[in-house]
Structure 1
C-alpha cells in the first residue's frame, strides 16, 4: 500500500504542475490577443514563442500524468489482489 500512496502523491504533484501551466498558458494567450489588437509585433512574436514552449511542456506533462495514472491503477490492482 505504501507504493500506491507514493504513486498517488507523485501524480498529485504532476497534476499541480499541469494546472499551473494551463493557467499560465491561458494568461499568455490573453496577453497575446491584447498585443495583436495593439499590433505589438516584436512582443507578440516573443510571446508566441513562449506559448509554443508552454504547449509543448503541457503535452509532456499530460503524457507523464497518463503514465502515472496507469501505474497507480496497476499498483492498486496489485494491492487489491494481495489482500
Structure 2
C-alpha cells in the first residue's frame, strides 16, 4: 500500500470516528432533553399533589363550617318553634 492509500485509509478511520462521536453526542443530547422533560413533569406532579392536598384540607374545613352552620340553623329553628 502506498503512502497515499495509507493516508486516505487513516483519514477514513478518523472520519468514521468523527461521525460516530457526533451521533453519540446527538443521542446523549436527546436523552438529556427527555430526562429534563421528565424531571419537569415530576416537579409539576409534585406541585399538583401539593395543591390537591391543600384543596382537600380546605374542603374538610369548609365541610366543618357547613356542618356547624347547619346545626346552628336547626337549633335556632327549634328555639323559634318552642317560643
TM-score under structure 2 length normalisation: 0.48
Higher Cα radius of gyration: 2
If asked which structure has higher relative contact order (CA below 8 Å, sep 6+), I would say 1
